[in-house]
Structure 1
Amino acid sequence: MIDTVEQASGVGIAAPQIYKSLRIFIMSSKPNPRYPDAPLMPITAIINPEIIHASSEMEKGWEGCLSVPSMRGFVPRHKTIYVRYHDQQGQVQETEFNGFLARIFQHELDHLDGLTFIDRLESTKDLISESEWYQQFAPQAN
């Protein structure tokens, strides 16, 4: 799973995406060509995740997905979430994620529940090709 995420410049991958029926996903965040403004987060295994509390404040943001190649969607997500999961050592972890990291967690949790970001779109107008996204929204090189 880790190799797949790194090779694709992704920020997460869930077990069902590689045909494993397990409630586990990987999160990892750092600036890369697909997400140039991504915050730093080391590769983290998230096992049996759950959202304990989600803020009522929603925030729309652009998402891509290894399962939906060459597309981007403008997806509403909870801005802040408080979560519980087991780490690779089997220890229970509870933490709060905000912004982009909260978005990654919710996106990957959706995969465990059989959903993709397309299921969360408010309108088909919120779906564009990745090449169009790069032309319209990607930071321009100086």
Structure 2
Amino acid sequence: MIRELCKDVIFLAQKSRPATPEDLPVAADLLDTLKHHKDGCVGMAANMIGVSKRIIAIDNDGSYLVMFNPEILGKSGPYETEEGCLSLTGVRPVRRWKTIKVRWQNEKFQTRIKTFTGWTAEIIQHEVDHCEGIII
């Protein structure tokens, strides 16, 4: 189901709680909402649809990837850029990393670890910031 976007900065600034298998319907709604906004959005976190859980969905080079409880384990190659967000107005400067190592759980709650680079790494960092309550 496509959900309404949350623009409440106080809610978005709260750290999200860990996701559990009971949150699979939230992930489905998050993915539906991301696909609905595909022309102007490449990633979303659950708090952007009003659910304070550690779930993100991203466009991973043309296919979609949902991550439960994502954590950035390592990062290298810092750079400065600007990012926008559907939940916030305008663009803001931010420091990102060219390469990141991420641990997350898939939809079966099996742990996965992978290194991401470039644009996909930037998207994941933005959404993990949402999970941490960091507003760029």
Same structural fold, with TM-score higher than 0.5 when normalized by the shorter chain: yes
Partner of 2:44: 13
Percent of matched pairs sharing the same residue: 36
The 2-side partners of 1:61 and 1:100 are apart by: 11
Distance in structure 2 (CA, Å) of the matches to 1:8 and 1:112 = 20
Residue 65 (structure 2) pairs with residue 44 (structure 1):
yes
Alpha-carbon deviation of 1:68? 0.9
**2-side partners of 1:8 and 1:51: how far apart?**
25
* Equivalent residues in 2 for 1:1-142, closer than 5 Å: 1-9=30-38, 10-29=41-60, 40-55=61-76, 57-69=77-89, 71-117=90-136
TM normalised by structure 1 equals 0.68
1:111, 1:73 → 2: CA distance? 14
Deviation, 1:113, is 0.8
Distance verdict in 2 for CA 1:24–1:94, change over 3 Å: same
Q: Gaps spanning 5+ residues in structure 1: where?
A: 30-39, 118-142
Contact 1:107 1:116 in 2 (8 A): no
For structure 2, list consecutive stretches of 5 or more residues without a partner in the other structure. 1-29
What is the DSSP-based 3-state SS (H/G/I as helix, E as strand, rest coil) of the residue aligned with 2:129? helix
Matched residues, number: 105
* Residues 22-51 of structure 1, C-alpha deviations (whole Å, 9 max, x = no match): 11110114xxxxxxxxxx241111101111
